[in-house]
Structures are given as structure tokens and as C-alpha cells.
Structure 1
Amino acid sequence: MDDALITVEVAYALSDNQLIIPVQVPQQSSIEAAIHASGILQKFPEIDLNMHKVGVFGKIAKLNAHIRHLDRIEIYRPLIADPKALRRKRATDKK
């Protein structure tokens, strides 16, 4: 039973589109193993797993975390601007 497969999705969103790749991996696979199995790193060579954060269903997770059947693994892009700084600037501009 250790070689049973589970299905997960690997998601990556750009500003203009989103890609979700379903992939089957062995049970007890890590987030990193599922990302590699999906082939998404070949489609988007700008993804650097040492720099980009990852998560499962919107919750930040480590690359070595185990995944479960039907999990959605998300690769997050870095923020372009700091949201707090933008709010402060808008508040100052209104005054």
C-alpha cells in the first residue's frame, strides 16, 4: 500500500493567467516532489523554489511538508510592492 498514488494539483498564477496542473504522486510525497513531478518548473523557469514561497490551500508550508490526496499546492510570486507602504501613501495623499 506504500506505493499507492494520490492526486494533487500544482497551481501558479501570473498577472494575466493561472495554471493548475493535476499530478499523481506516491503517498507521503513532499510538496517539492509534487512540484517537480508536475513539470511546472520547466514551463516557468523563473520559479525559484529557494525564493518563492509555497503553500497548500492558501497556507504557507515548507517544501518538505507531506501532502494529502486532493491538496492544491500553490507557488506564490513575490509581491511587487509592500501593501502597508501603499496604504500609508494613499492615506497621506488624501490629507
Structure 2
Amino acid sequence: MSERRLPVEVVYATAEQQWLLALDVAPGTTLREAVRLSGIAGQVPGLDVEACPLGIFGKVVSDAEQQAVSEGDRIELYRPLLVDPKEVRKQRAAKVARVFKKAKR
């Protein structure tokens, strides 16, 4: 009798391209191990799969080296933020304030 395998997906996206790799892993495989087994590091130049934050269905997982995969998990590799979202909102609000101030004159 063969060992039961769990189907999972490993996904990564850049502005130019997306990768979605489906694979079956053994029960007890951690999220980080599943990413390594997917072979995505060989397909995406410069991707450091050991340092990337991981998530499942849009929720960041803090203990990817410990957490075991579940059947049907979509394991996502996240890119680092280029700009702090709070700073972008501040800049946008300041720009709108300047426009309204100019319009009142």
C-alpha cells in the first residue's frame, strides 16, 4: 500500500510573471520543505526561498519551518515591500490636501 500524499500548490508572482506549481507531498512536510520540493527556486532567478516570507491563502505564516502542510494548501511566497504602505498613504493625503488648498484660493 502506498503512502498517502497531500496535494498542495506553491505560488509566486512578480509584476511580469506568475508561477503556480502543483505537487503532492508526504504528510508532516513543513511549508518551507514543500517550497523546496516544488523546485521553484530553479525556475525564478534570484529567488531566495529560505528567506521569503510564506503564507497560506493570503495569510502570513510566522513559523513556516514548523507548520505542516494541509491538503489543498496554496503556499504563497511573498516579495519584500519596496515602499512602506503607510508612507504612500501619507504622501497621497498630503497631495490631496495641497490640491484642495490651491483650489480654495
| Deviations 1:4-36, CA, capped at 9 Å, x for gaps | 211100000111221110011101110011101
CA contact (8 A) 2:52 2:79 kept: yes
Higher-strand-fraction structure: 1
TM-score by length of 2: 0.81
Return the TM-score normalized by structure 1: 0.89
Matches within 5 A, 1:1-95: 3-61=3-61, 62-64=63-65, 65-95=67-97
SS at match of 1:3: coil
Unmatched 5+ stretches in structure 2: 98-105
Contact 1:2–1:27 at 8 Å: present in 2 too?
A: no
Note the aligned Cα RMSD (angstroms). 1.7
Flag the structure with higher helix content: 2
Letter in 2 for 1:27: P
Determine the C-alpha separation between the residues in 2 that align with 1:37 and 1:50: 12
Structure whose alpha-carbon radius of gyration is higher: 2
Stretches of structure 1 that go unaligned for 5 or more consecutive residues are none
- Alignment coverage as a number of residue pairs: 95
* 4+ runs deviating over 3 angstroms: none
SS in structure 1 opposite 2:82? coil
